[in-house]
Structures are given as C-alpha cells and as structure tokens.
Amino acid sequence: MRSRLVIGSVVLLSLVMVAASALWLLDAATAWRAIAAASFVIALCSFFFNLSGAEYLAEGKKLEKNISKIKKAPGKVAIAVPVYKPEIETLRMSIRSIKKLEYPGEFEIFVLDDTEEEVHAGKVRELCEEEEVVVLRRAGREGGKAGALNMLLKETDAEFMAIFDGDEVVGDNSFFMETMGHFRKKDVAFVQTNKECGGNGLFEQAANYTNAAFVNLIQPINTKKGVGLFTGSCGIFRVSALKGVGGFPDSVIEDVAVSLKLFWKGWSAEHVAKVYAVGAPVSKFSRFASQHMKYISGVTSLLPEYAKNIWRYPAEQKGIMMVHALGLHYVSIVQLGACLIAIVCALWGVALGELASLAYLFSTLASLLILSKAYVGSMKVGLYAYLLNFSLVIPRIFATIGTVFGIKDFGKRTLLLSATLQLLLGFVFFWVAWGENSIASAWWGLLFISNPLLLLLRR
C-alpha cells in the first residue's frame, strides 16, 4: 500500500510538470514553439526518470536478500585489497576485519600497494608484515586498479578472488558463507553485495544515499533481470571467468568494464542484497565530485563497446544497458536544457514558460523528497542529495567532453574550473531573477552556486 502511495504521489507531481509544459506548447506563438516543445520533451523525460525511481523503490521493497549458503568450500580464495597511499590505521582495521571472515577452506589476503612514495610504501609493507598478509607492489601504476588486480591474477592459484577496498571494514563475518553458494551455478562469474559508506553527518548521508541508491537498489533489480554490474569492491569473482576475458580492462571504471566483458561472453552474475562491509565516509565534496566525474568519463569511453554489443539482447536488457551507458549524460543534458529555457523565458517575459520552469523545478524536488523519505526515512537527506545532483551538472559535462578529447585525469583543476563556472552562472541567474522578478531564475541560481559552496564548506 505504501509503495502504491509513493508511486501515485510521484506520478501526480510529475503530471503537474508535464501539464504545465503542454499548456505552454499549445498556447505558444510560432517563434516560441520549438522552445516550448523542448520544454515538453524535458518534462516527459523527467516524468520517466521520476516514475522509474518510484518503481525501482517499490520493486526493491519486495527483493529478497538472495543469500546462498555453503557448508564446504568451493575452492581457494585470494582476497585482494588494492590501495594507493592508504591511511595506515584505516588499512590495519580493514585487514583485521577481513582476517576474521568465516570460511571452511583456504583464503589468503593480498594488499596490492600502488603507492609510489617510498617512505609511505615502507609503512604499508611494515603493516602487512605485522598482520602477516602478503603485499604486492609494482614498479609503476600502469592500468591503475585494474593493473594491480591483473598482477594478482597472474600470481595466484586460487579459484576465486574477493575484492575489498582498503578503507572498508567488514562487520559481518558470514560474507563468504552466505554468498559463495551462487558459484554452484557454473555460469556465474561474480557475486556482488550491497555497499555502504559510514558517516552520520547530513552531507555524508546524502552522498551515501546518492551512491547507494544505484548500488543497493537499482543494481540488485537489474542483476535479477540478467544485467549485473560489479561495483568495485565487496564482491567475489570466479578466477577462470576473469582469465577467460583477459582480466580487468585498462579503464578508469574497471569494475563496469570487466562486467561488460563477462556479460558479452555469456557469463551471469548474482547480487546478495546485504551489507557486509562499510567504507570510510565520503566527507569531502571534492571526493564525491571526483567519483562522479571518473564514472561518467569511464562510461563515455565505453560507449563504442555498448553500441557494438547491446543490440543482440532482449528489449528489457537492452534498455537497462542503454540507461547504464547514457543515464548520467541524459540527466546532465536535461538539467542544462531546463535551466537555459528558464533564463530565456525570464529575459523575454514568457509567463507560461516561467510557469513550466517552476513546475519542472518543483516536481523534481518534491519527487526526490518523497523518494528519500520512503528509502532512507529523511527528507533532509533528500534535499541535500538534490543539491548534490545539481552541483555536478558542469563537472559531468567537463568530464564527458574531456574524455572525448582523450583526457583521463579530472582533478583539482577541473573541480575549480567547474566551481568558478557554476558560480558565474549562479550570479547570472540571480541578476536575471532580480531584474525580471523571476522565481525560476532565482531557484536555478541557488542550484548552481551549490557547487562552489559545497567545495568551500566540505573541502
């Protein structure tokens, strides 16, 4: 009943947005018809986005944990902990928690250290000696995390490889006991579990909600429909499957890239909807934005592979993969288009256009607040996540364009440039709002300055 109420509320709010744009389109003069049509298309896209979120939430409530237990070990496990300049005590806690995992067979822990600075690398080595785990270090960092994992693939004789990040602490020792039963099915290449980051602050909760909504809500459902993605850690691979596709591809999102390679080769995946390990909180906006720029950059570089392969799959799986490939691009384009329409309507005094812009802003905000209340029990978290989403408009676009031109590293310069541009755009919208008495422009101004403010306050 509650799920129906959530879906119904989101549909009604979204229909307000669609109706406002339709009203403008029907009444628009010839000169404004194309812009009104664009507003109507944006409203329809946003309607689809809002409704999809509500449906995933409703379907997620029905999901079982999908635990598959074992009594005897299906094979030896190599546990990879890839790190780069790790915080030593955090890594120590991670290693100690992993050592406590229950498993009726043999497992060995490998810290894959890509730290270039010798003194810090020495501290990592000393820690591994103290904790009696193996440390593997390469001469360079070629291939990043993928290269480190491929090094272990060449070294190990294990049948399975589990992966944890160096800041993740395992809180449930039944990780292997409740997941590895899925490998009884010979076509299963990997098992992914839910992921969470710690932190009780509002920013940390919003960042976690933004990321976990995909990993812990959307992805288990997509995996059940046959399109599973590995999400970087808290998962286990069948080593023979990895070796069969040549290991992890050299990609900034090696997790998604290897998932696709396995999928194209006919392997399947399973998702256990349970949190076994918690990572360090995402407490800095720079880290949050960098994660999202890295992801959209990686997906952009994989677009040719998507275009080449997805057409041979059923419609539902094809649709899921198209959302994988174009989802963030679509969100950024829709947001950018909506703000341009708002400022044009304010400058030329188009009342119905202003109404359509306000309806869009209100609908997207109200829908997200309802969904966050239903998912994490807090509208405050949803409001913060709303600001985080719009703060990434320019960083996502920069990352996409940069990737097309062969740029792979999006660091502090990109963040500062994005913040500067969004600050300028925010002031432009405030100036228009002041001169034209435009509520929609003022709203957009607030959304755009969220980027520099968050970068300043959560640096």
Whether residue 290 is contained in a domain is answered as: no
Question: Each residue of 325-351: pLDDT tens digit?
Answer: 998 898 899 999 999 999 999 999 999
Tell me, yes or no, whether 22 and 48 share the same domain.
yes
Choose among 360, 451, 380: nearest CA to 45.
Answer: 360
Question: Which residue range(s) make up the domain with 442?
Answer: 2-62+317-457
Tell me, yes or no, whether 52 and 128 share the same domain.
no
Q: Give the DSSP letter string of 281-314.
A: P---HHHHHHHHHHHHHHHHHHHHHHHHHGGGS-
Residue 1 has pLDDT above 60, yes or no: no
Tell me, yes or no, whether 369 and 243 share the same domain.
no
CATH number of the domain enclosing 188: 3.90.550.10
Question: Each residue of 39-77: pLDDT tens digit?
Answer: 999 999 999 999 999 999 889 888 899 999 999 999 999
Question: Each residue of 84-132: pLDDT tens digit?
Answer: 999 999 999 999 999 999 999 999 999 999 999 999 999 999 999 999 9
Cβ-based neighbours of 421, under 8 Å, separated by 6 or more: 394
Token pair 């067979």 is at which residue? 105
- What's CA 269's distance to the chain center, in Å? 18
Whether residue 69 is contained in a domain is answered as: no
CA angle 360, 43, 448 (to 5 degrees): 45
| Count of Cβ atoms closer than 10 Å to residue 8 Cβ | 11
Whether residue 375 is contained in a domain is answered as: yes
Q: What is the pLDDT of residue 120?
A: 94
Residue 276 has pLDDT above 70, yes or no: yes
Query: Which helix or strand (DSSP H or E) is residue 387 part of?
Result: helix 379-391
Whether residue 343 is contained in a domain is answered as: yes
Tell me, yes or no, whether 349 and 435 share the same domain.
yes
Q: What is the pLDDT of residue 95?
A: 98
Q: What is the pLDDT of residue 79?
A: 98
| Count of Cβ atoms closer than 10 Å to residue 172 Cβ | 16
Tell me, yes or no, whether 365 and 273 share the same domain.
no
The domain boundary, picked from 264, 283, 302, lies at 283
Whether residue 168 is contained in a domain is answered as: yes
Tell me, yes or no, whether 363 and 277 share the same domain.
no
Tell me, yes or no, whether 363 and 240 share the same domain.
no
Three-state DSSP at 277 gives strand
Residue 32 has pLDDT above 80, yes or no: yes
- What's CA 233's distance to the chain center, in Å? 13
Q: How many domains does the chain have?
A: 2
Whether residue 68 is contained in a domain is answered as: no
